[in-house]
Structure 1
Amino acid sequence: MSSRPVQIGLEHFALGHLELAVRLRYDRDLYGIRHRPRVWTRGKA
């Protein structure tokens, strides 16, 4: 049983999550959205 597919899956998930977070922050800055996603509240608090 190899752990390689699991690691690739985790890296892909992490990259996707990072891209999503950056996109959400960019959209918020661009459109001036008031409410902030939970990801940023957890990171800044």
Structure 2
Amino acid sequence: MKDGFHVALWETVATLDAYQSMVDLMKRNGIDVRINKEFSLDS
């Protein structure tokens, strides 16, 4: 159980890390990174 939780936690951290890198890259390229309605989770 604990191992599974650790794996899930690290996968989440890795995903957030990748997302943060993507946002930084977009900001550097001058792209507006505000989340608009068609990007929301409850589409």
Structures share fold, TM-score greater than 0.5: yes
Instruction: Calculate percent identity across the aligned residue pairs.
Output: 8
Gaps of 5+ in 1: 35-40
Cα RMSD (Å): 2.2
Relative contact order: is structure 1 or structure 2 higher (C-alpha 8 Å, sep ≥ 6)?
1
Count of residue correspondences: 36
Q: Which runs of 4+ in 1 moved over 4 A?
A: none
Q: TM-score, normalised by structure 1?
A: 0.64
Q: TM-score, normalised by structure 2?
A: 0.67
Kindly indicate which of the two structures has a greater share of residues assigned to helix: 1
